[in-house]
Structure 1
Amino acid sequence: MFKRVLLTLTVLLLPLAAQAEETYVAGKHYDVINPAIRTAESGKIEAAEFFWYGCGHCYTFEPVLAKWKTTLADDVVFRGIPAMWGGAMELHAKAYYAARALGVEEKMDQAIFQALNVDRKPLRSEDEIAELFAEHGVSKDDFFKAYNSFGVSSQVRQADATARAAKITGTPAMMVNGKYLIGPRKAGSTANMLKIAEFLIEKERAAAGS
């Protein structure tokens, strides 16, 4: 009798297990990037975010994303990729990489988001951005040196090329391992973007056999 009940439960649960595995579907909840984009760090599963400091949705998503990043396993690496569609966005992308070159990314990310979304400072010139960095303890000489460096310029060009290859249409958007693009429209919400990212990370982990 017990075996019969167990068999019945197993049969009933099999469709539910299959449904759980098929929770997110390519083309419906996320898009497949073809051809796939090379990731920045081989041997790791990459989770990336395309963003713009001036994007209100990116601003509200940032604290949620920051918390999520602390939960990532050791085999996952996160990368931020500033989006550029003209205007001041390239200046802001340079500021993103300059902050990392100077080792002040944590405070400057917050400061730039705050300036554009709350304080309504457009930051449309190099001098305006230098002034903001100076307000947070970075000398203008150090800022200009990093901001106009070859390394920062190269990273900006690479970020733009990556966004174009991924064919992003808005921000925020997430990319997993250079193979999958997740946008809030198909995901349903920015919070759900993270759930889909976790699903795809696990998919990549399983494919690698780890």
Structure 2
Amino acid sequence: MRNLRFALAAATLALGVAASPAFASVTAPVSGVEYTTLAAPQAVPAGKKVEVIEFFMYHCPHCNALEPQLSEWVKKQGDNIVLKRVHFPSTGPNDPEAHLYLTLEAMGKLPEFHARVFRAVHVERVRLNSDEAVLNWAVKSGLDRAKFLDAWNSFGVQTKMKRLGAMITAYKVEFAPVLIIDGKYMTAPSLVAASDKTRDEQQLFRSTLQVADFLVAKAAKTK
């Protein structure tokens, strides 16, 4: 995962470059600058809504910092989009955090626990870096041990775990956080940072979501 660590480090360093005005809505984002156009677009669900995929990691500080703004952005987009989250398997096909996310999803517990996992990692300093650590945290957090293990070991969750690698390859994702719009476009704070050299991370996130606004509108025109 050397490329992943390098990309995240580059994004962090970019935040420290001399400040300039925030990404200007007057100028349309440019492919190859604030976003990239996938060479091999991926299939998306039929319908009027634009699919938005967030590739994230629970232990990623940038993903944690982005989450409040992203949640508000999703609310503002409303029926324009359908959001799908994919936990980047940073430690490989058996990544414990990715497994936790898919297990919570299978249990219908994400609305209640998604933010709690971020808090556990970044505020309470819980390390969810092994299956045992994840199970212990889940039980201590009030989840039924037997039900959690049933979902953890279920065919559906195991199948989705095996598909993660193929998804990463298909979308050419090497770091997080990343947003994929309509299976065609990729944007990320680390991309936007190259043209929006602000020192303020929250402003960089706002600029990134402005790019996402542009891409959602662009994709909607072809629906």
Give CA-to-partner distance per residue, 1:23-59, whole Å, 9 cap, x none.
10100110111211123x3223101111000000101
CA RMSD, Structure 1 to Structure 2 (Å): 2.0
1:207 is aligned to 222
Q: Output the CA distance in 1 between the equivalents of 2:218 and 2:92.
A: 37
Residues matched between the structures, number: 189
Identity %: 27
Give the alignment partner of residue 32 of structure 1, picking from 29, 37, 55: 37
- Normalised by the size of structure 1, how large is the TM-score? 0.82
Residues of 2 paired with 1:178 and 1:158: CA distance? Answer: 16
> More deviation in 169-178 or 185-194?
185-194
Q: Which structure's relative contact order is higher, taking Cα pairs within 8 Å and 6+ residues apart?
A: 2
Is residue 184 from structure 1 mapped to residue 199 from structure 2 by the alignment?
no
Tell whether 2:106 aligns with 1:106. Answer: no
> How far apart in 2 are the matches of 1:57 and 1:80?
15
SS of corresponding position for 1:110: helix
Q: Indicate the SS of the match to 2:69.
A: helix
CA displacement at 1:89 relative to structure 2: 7.2
Q: Secondary structure at the match of 1:84?
A: coil
Per the normalisation by structure 2, the TM-score is 0.78
Deviations 1:87-107 (A, max 9, x none): 697111111111111111123
Q: Distance in 1 between the 2:116 and 2:94 partners?
A: 16
Counting helix residues as a fraction of each chain, which structure ranks higher? 1
- The amino acid across from 1:175 in the alignment is I
> Could you tell me whether the CA contact under 8 Å between 1:83 and 1:89 is conserved in 2?
no
What is the alpha-carbon distance in structure 1 between the residues aligned to residue 88 and residue 94 of structure 2? 7
SS of the aligned residue for 1:175 comes to strand
Matched, 1:58 2:73: no
Moved over 4 A (4+): 19-22
Change (3 A) 1:64 1:89: farther
Gaps of 5+ in 1: 1-18
1:93 corresponds in structure 2 to 98
Bigger-Rg structure (1/2)? 1
